[in-house]
Structure 1
Amino acid sequence: MAVAHGSRDPRSAAAVAELLAAVRARRPDLDVRGAFLDLSRPLLADVLDAARGPVVVVPLLLGRAFHARVDLPGLVEAAQRRNRGLSVRVAGVLGPDARLEAAALRRLSEAGVVPGDPEVGVVLAATGSSHPPANARVHEIARRWAGSFGWAGVRPAFASATTPDVPSAVAALRARGAARIAVASWFLAPGLLPDRVAAQAAGAVVAAPLGAAETVADVVVDRYAEALGSGALTA
């Protein structure tokens, strides 16, 4: 059971469906289903209520922010209270994982941004969280990229909940001498927040979200396997 956040934007659910199709192609032996925490259907609570047999829940979340630490465990616990026979194991979130970074860099390359261009400043744009460790992961990736790819600079930016925002990151890169700005997407799927980032970075090259990149599908499969291998499913 792969669980995404959910969005009112239908492009988000379509991107999740495409990702799950890639997961099924890798593991045709598995019954792979999708659900959402909120805003999209089917909701995880409804799917768990209808579940028969053991379930491994794989969060399609890039980091351990509020949804991973609070929302998802709460929904699973509530479902198990309603159905005492329900066996569930919750896998780890997708990140951190070097394969996610590879997917983000590939999306940037597809947008025409290549390593080694000293005139390009890169904004690594993410959702943002009130949980500092989740934001720290994005800062770590930006620092690693800044030291590895020869751009004019790399700055993290967040669409909500924390700073710096995208305009601040763009201004910092301009101050470092960046003649052009590119935005790398640390989002799984299209939606309100990626659109906000693109609007705030008007005139920049904006990479697509990670979506159904092959490496992302590989991470989903591995999180399932890790959860299944960590012990018996529990009711």
Structure 2
Amino acid sequence: MNATSVRAGTLIAVAHGSRDPRSKLTVDAIVERIRLRRPDLDVRVAFLDLTAPSVESVLDDVAAEGIRYATVVPLLLGSAFHARVDLPGLLDAARVRHPRLVLRQAEVLGDDRRMVGALRARIFDAGVDATDSSVGVAVAAVGSSHGPANQRSRALAQRVLHGTSWRAAVTCFATDQDPRPDRALACLEEAGARTIVIAPWFLAPGLLTDRVFAEFGTLCRDAIAADVLRDHPFVVDVVSSRYDAANDLTALGRDTSERSA
């Protein structure tokens, strides 16, 4: 074993998983960028559901290779069921199976201002001018049964406006939470927005993003669709700093967290 492999930590990036193959391709691209960003780390990927490899199998592989320490970074935008219940349960079960393996769970990517910056950058990428005061942004999020997670998603809208002249922004949800896209569109039009932009608060494309775009397409045929966050450099920066923070690299984590989106 060479000196580099001795020094390297293990980062396990855990994504939700989806039947849609576009989702896995996007997660794989994010993980590849993490590897380029952090050549000092052994970076692996696992999925909570519907996609292989599973969290359990990756943790078993890590333990079988004799790795003693691993940090799990959830590639999740909200701290709801998967981050608060599902993933911790999987890690607790792995600790029972592999008592010599020390596992740390990092914070979710969440609404870190770099993540909001990535969302804003995707809107710019769609050809929207920061000085265009006719723009109304519908931030489309997945929605959750966890009320505080939805509140944080709702608060994203006003943060997206920072540094722009856009008219208004409102968060809507792809699931049964309020407001739905029709209500969000009505709010934007009431605020005087004439150019509607759909900004998906999703890491990867999938059935839910397709549903949102289709619904807005019916409501407003001229709406501009921004891309999902994908492997934007800000996303990779946040993954890196979540790993560092979980491993008590406080100086590096503080330096990274101060970077403006």
Fold conserved between structures, TM > 0.5: yes
Question: Could you tell me how far 1:149 is from its partner in structure 2?
Answer: 2.4
Q: Does 1:219 align with 2:238?
A: yes
Determine the C-alpha separation between the residues in 2 that align with 1:86 and 1:147: 43
Contact 1:6 1:36 in 2 (8 A): yes
**Structure 1 vs Structure 2 CA RMSD:** 1.6
Determine the C-alpha separation between the residues in 1 that align with 2:33 and 2:157: 28
- Which one of 41, 63, 72 corresponds to residue 30 of structure 1? 41
Contact 1:130 1:161 in 2 (8 A): no
Determine the C-alpha separation between the residues in 1 that align with 2:62 and 2:149: 31
Determine the C-alpha separation between the residues in 2 that align with 1:148 and 1:214: 19
Alignment of 1:1-235 (within 5 A): 1-52=12-63, 53=67, 54-146=69-161, 148-202=163-217, 203=221, 204-229=223-248
Aligned pair in 2 of structure 1 residues 47, 145: CA closer, same or farther (>3 Å)? closer
Question: Could you tell me how far 1:230 is from its partner in structure 2?
Answer: 6.8
Question: Could you tell me how far 1:147 is from its partner in structure 2?
Answer: 6.4
Question: Could you tell me how far 1:119 is from its partner in structure 2?
Answer: 1.7
Determine the C-alpha separation between the residues in 1 that align with 2:182 and 2:94: 42
Determine the C-alpha separation between the residues in 2 that align with 1:13 and 1:220: 17
Question: Which amino acid in structure 2 is aligned with residue 120 of structure 1?
Answer: V
Determine the C-alpha separation between the residues in 2 that align with 1:182 and 1:208: 11
TM-score, normalization: structure 1?
0.93
Contact 1:158 1:165 in 2 (8 A): yes
Question: Could you tell me how far 1:46 is from its partner in structure 2?
Answer: 1.3
Question: Which amino acid in structure 1 is aligned with residue 204 of structure 2?
Answer: A
Higher relative contact order (CA 8 A, sep 6+): 1
1:76-120 deviations in Å (ceiling 9; x for gaps): 111222222221000011122111011111110111112232222
Of all paired residues, the percent bearing the same amino acid is: 49
Which structure has the greater CA radius of gyration? 2
Q: Which runs of 5+ in 2 are unaligned?
A: 1-11, 251-261
Equivalenced residues, count: 231
Task: Name the stretch that deviates more: 108-117 or 53-62.
Answer: 108-117
TM-score, normalization: structure 2?
0.84
Question: Which amino acid in structure 1 is aligned with residue 229 of structure 2?
Answer: L
